[in-house]
Structure 1
Amino acid sequence: MPRPDRIPPGPGLRRLGVALLCAAALTSVLSACTGAPEAATRQQQPAAAAPAVPAAPSVPSVPAKVSYGMPADVSSLILPTSGEGTRSTQGLDAFARLASAWAVHDCARKQGQAVPDGPPPMFTRLFSVPDLDYLRAHGFGEAVDVPGAPPRTPSSAQAPAAPGPELRTCLTEGRSAGQELPRVYQALQARWFRELAPVDQDPEVLRAREGFPSCLAAHDVKAEDENAFFALVDARLQAADAQGGRRLGAVYATCMAPVEAVREPLREQLAERFRAEHRAEIATVVTELPKKVRELEERYRIRFSVPAL
């Protein structure tokens, strides 16, 4: 699946991928052990506490504010043009991981196996289309768990390091479940993100970026360009400096606002053309995606959710 964190980042974002997106890479079918305590219903309230991320102790957790349900415009899930729009895209990707986690959990329970402990499914931000409002509110480094993940069980701590044949079967089942939803939209979404890539090289965007270093300096951030800025972000996260990560997120949101003011209309223009060129494919996805989401919701008793401010 064309994961958002695998889209080639713009200038300065490559370093950030190491520090911030590692949690998404670690969130696999082994993420089935940590999550919400109400396993019987698997339903969460719109706001719930997000547990700490074991694999990345330098990344603090935040209260998980989410909204439930599919957007009215289903195509916006796979064709985001704004930071706010990427929250639905995050929900789509995270929902597939949530289904995968429950597939492993249910299979392991039937087999009498303990699932190896691991990080829970998490929402993964798209830094190729930055959500500046979210960064301004939460900063860098705060990971938000997807509500409704499988519960932690006492036996998970005693799970073997190397899974046996029964558990390997469950992991295979989890991978298969995690691909059911992406198969509906991944080819179309991949084409859309490739379409977006040249936006960063637009002359107007490049001119807008020229003001980024001076904006950083005005906020007492010592970084000569985006690469240096994200090196500073990395250093704050490695030092578990949550306050520093939040401050830098707010500064980034302020200094990138002029760039996004140029990029967002360009993305919207691209989206209009893309929708016209791929009308039939989009219509198929719009028809099939809600059906698959409902099917997975009923099968695993989970709910589709997206992060919210």
Structure 2
Amino acid sequence: MPRPARHSHRPGRLRAAALCAAALPVLLGACTATPAPGAPAPDAPQPHAAATPAPVSYAMPADAVSLVLPTTGEGTRWTQGLDAFGRLAAAWAVDGCARRLGVPVPDSPPPMFTRYSGLPDLDFLDAHGFGGGTAVPGTPPATRPTTDPSARLGPEPRRCLAEGRAVGRELAAVYARLQSGWFAEVASVDRAPAVRQAYAGLGDCLAAHQVNARDEAAFLTLVDQRLQAADTTAARGLGSVYATCMKPVEAAREPLRAKAAAAFRVSNSAEITRVRSELPQKIDELEKRYRIRISFPTT
């Protein structure tokens, strides 16, 4: 799940840059859903103190497989919603466990929507910039640390965190294998000559917009710096620049992803049929269990 890290941004890998800054508390990982094995890590969200509300839709797609197999940046909004839903259910599992055991709820950031830089949602970035529209509705009440954050957690809080992780795995188990296979296909698109050629012009475009970054890696580092400095105006402006300069790259990638998706759906038809049937059922079950709703970011 989201994690602060340094990543390579060269073509040929599905980029998982930490676009939204700052190391998150260790407990974040303990309260999130488990990602599909081999799946690219989403971009790390802002620290929760700075999270901004996201415009959302509660309408499910006609085909639940759209939640799992995105081919465009806009399509990742379904995937972001599914990811966030797993984290939301996990957070409520931790909250309920702590209250049931009569112990303080372990402090951690609330669930947030996290974007994939390997499938950039350019329209969203143009409208909201980096770091905007990350807060997921329906999260448990915010908690504050009740002990020294460096102190060792007692057995009851650790039990609750384990319960949250189990809920995340419960949802991911429905679609993890299918999604990890698809993300491997998405990653291979960046090795195509047309995509490499499109990336070659990125630095010139950034320079034309007075951005001092020679390539995508340097640009994303700059975004991180602005977010860490709480410079939201600059972060929003950089979103518009990125949306403009990445259009040629996405224009090259999208038809290749569409072609790969057609072949992938044929070769994985049985697994797709299973996920199409089981995923809505599992989402409905978790919504009822924790009295929550799945939501999806919109522009």
Structure 2 length normalisation: TM-score?
A: 0.85
What is the RMSD of the two structures over their aligned residues, measured on CA atoms? 2.7
Amino acid at match of 2:61: P
Unaligned runs of 5+ residues in structure 2 are 33-45
> Hey, what's the Cα distance between the residues in 2 that align with 1:64 and 1:100?
20
> Hey, what's the Cα distance between the residues in 2 that align with 1:245 and 1:134?
13
Correspondence for 1:199: 189
Q: Identical aligned pairs, as a percentage? A: 54
User: What's the CA shift string for 1:186-243, capped at 9, x where partnerless?
Assistant: 0110010011111111111111112212211221112222222223223222322111
> Hey, what's the Cα distance between the residues in 2 that align with 1:88 and 1:27?
22
Distance 1:121 1:128, change over 3 A: same
Correspondence for 1:11: 10
Correspondence for 1:47: none
Correspondence for 1:53: 47
Correspondence for 2:61: 71
User: What's the CA shift string for 1:163-184, capped at 9, x where partnerless?
Assistant: 3222222222111111111000
Shift of 1:20: 3.8
Shift of 1:245: 0.8
Q: Is the 8 A contact 1:99 1:300 kept in 2?
A: yes
Structure 1 range deviating more: 270-279 or 107-116: 107-116
Distance 1:5 1:95, change over 3 A: farther
Correspondence for 1:229: 219
Q: Which secondary structure does the structure 1 equivalent of 2:87 belong to?
A: helix
Q: Is the 8 A contact 1:83 1:129 kept in 2?
A: yes
Q: Is the 8 A contact 1:70 1:290 kept in 2?
A: no
> Hey, what's the Cα distance between the residues in 2 that align with 1:25 and 1:111?
22
Correspondence for 2:162: 172
Correspondence for 2:228: 238
> Which of 258, 263, 280 is the aligned partner of 1:273?
263
> Hey, what's the Cα distance between the residues in 2 that align with 1:5 and 1:277?
35
Amino acid at match of 1:17: A
Q: Which secondary structure does the structure 2 equivalent of 1:169 belong to?
A: helix
Q: Is the 8 A contact 2:4 2:24 kept in 1?
A: no
Amino acid at match of 1:158: T
Distance 1:107 1:182, change over 3 A: same
Amino acid at match of 1:53: P
Structure 1 length normalisation: TM-score?
A: 0.83
> Hey, what's the Cα distance between the residues in 2 that align with 1:135 and 1:274?
28
User: What's the CA shift string for 1:64-88, capped at 9, x where partnerless?
Assistant: 2111132112111111000010011
Is 1:218 equivalent to 2:208 in the alignment? yes
> Hey, what's the Cα distance between the residues in 1 that align with 2:180 and 2:108?
28
User: What's the CA shift string for 1:250-283, capped at 9, x where partnerless?
Assistant: 1010000011011011101100000000000000
> Hey, what's the Cα distance between the residues in 2 that align with 1:294 and 1:15?
30
Amino acid at match of 2:221: A
> Hey, what's the Cα distance between the residues in 2 that align with 1:77 and 1:264?
17
Amino acid at match of 1:90: Q
Shift of 1:10: 4.2
> Hey, what's the Cα distance between the residues in 1 that align with 2:147 and 2:31?
11
Q: Which secondary structure does the structure 1 equivalent of 2:18 belong to?
A: helix
Q: Which secondary structure does the structure 2 equivalent of 1:133 belong to?
A: helix
Correspondence for 2:42: none
> Which of 240, 245, 258 is the aligned partner of 1:250?
240
Q: Is the 8 A contact 2:107 2:145 kept in 1?
A: yes
Of Structure 1 and Structure 2, the greater helix share is in: 1
Correspondence for 2:146: 158
> Hey, what's the Cα distance between the residues in 1 that align with 2:22 and 2:74?
19
Amino acid at match of 2:86: A
User: What's the CA shift string for 1:24-69, capped at 9, x where partnerless?
Assistant: 98633458xxxxxxxxxxxxxxxxxxxx834xx6xx4323211113
Correspondence for 2:106: 116
Structure 1 range deviating more: 167-176 or 10-19: 10-19
> Hey, what's the Cα distance between the residues in 2 that align with 1:177 and 1:30?
9
Q: Which secondary structure does the structure 1 equivalent of 2:246 belong to?
A: helix
> Which of 77, 81, 105 is the aligned partner of 1:87?
77
Correspondence for 2:36: none
> Hey, what's the Cα distance between the residues in 2 that align with 1:245 and 1:141?
7
Amino acid at match of 2:206: L
Q: Is the 8 A contact 2:3 2:18 kept in 1?
A: no
Is 1:186 equivalent to 2:185 in the alignment? no
Q: Is the 8 A contact 1:136 1:249 kept in 2?
A: yes
